[in-house]
Amino acid sequence: MDPAAEELKNQANDVFKTKDYERALELYSKAIEVDGTSAVLYSNRSFAYLKTESFGAALEDAGKAIELDPKYTKGYYRRASANMAMGQFSKALKDYESVFKVKPKDPDVRKKVQECRKIVKQRAFERAIASEEKEEAPLTNYENITVSDSYKGPRLDENCQPTVEFMEQLETTFKAQKELHKRYIFHMLTIALEKFRKLPTMIDISVPNDGKLTVCGDTHGQYYDLCNIFKLNGQPSAENPYLFNGDFVDRGSWGLEVFLTLLGWWLHDPKCMYLTRGNHETKNMNELYGFEGEVKHKVGPNAFRSFQTLFQSLPVAYLINKRVLVMHGGLPMVDNIALDDIRKLDRFMEPGEGGTLTDLLWADPQDAPGRGTSKRGTSAQFGPDITAEFCKQNGLDYIIRSHEVKEKGWESAHGGKCWTIFSAPNYCDQRGNDGAYLTIRPDNNLVPIPNEFKAVEHPPCQPMMYANPMMRMAGLA
Please report, in tens digits, the pLDDT of each residue of the chain (477 residues total). 899 999 999 999 999 999 889 999 999 999 999 999 999 999 999 999 999 889 999 999 999 999 999 999 999 999 998 998 888 889 999 999 999 999 998 888 888 888 889 888 877 877 776 655 545 567 888 989 999 999 999 999 998 999 999 999 999 999 999 999 999 999 999 999 999 999 999 999 999 999 999 999 999 999 999 999 999 999 999 999 999 999 999 999 999 999 999 999 999 999 999 999 999 999 989 988 999 999 999 999 999 999 999 999 999 999 999 999 999 999 999 999 999 999 999 999 999 888 999 999 999 999 999 999 999 989 999 999 999 999 999 999 999 999 999 999 999 999 999 999 999 999 999 889 999 999 999 999 999 999 999 999 999 998 889 987 766 555 555
* Known catalytic residue at 328: no
Parse the chain into domains and list their residue ranges.
Answer: 3-130, 142-469
Hey, what amino acid is at 14?
A: D
CA 423 – CA 15 distance, rounded (Å): 25
Question: Would you say 54 and 77 are in contact if contact means Cβ atoms under 8 Å apart?
Answer: no
Active-site residue identified among 268, 280, 328, 414? 280
CA 390 – CA 429 distance, rounded (Å): 36
Give the sign of the dihedral formed by CA 143, CA 149, CA 152, CA 155.
positive
CA 338 – CA 341 distance, rounded (Å): 5
What is the topology classification, in CATH, of domain 3-130? 1.25.40
Query: If you write DSSP's letter for every residue of 307-338 in order, what string do you get?
Result: HHHHHHHS--EEEETTTEEE-SS---SSS---
Q: Give whole-number Cα distances, 426 to 48, 214, 278, 316, 346, in Å.
A: 17, 21, 20, 26, 35
SS3 state of residue 273: strand
At 442, phi and psi to the nearest 5?
A: -60, -35
Domain 142-469: which CATH class?
alpha beta
Question: Would you say 1 and 40 are in contact if contact means Cβ atoms under 8 Å apart?
Answer: yes
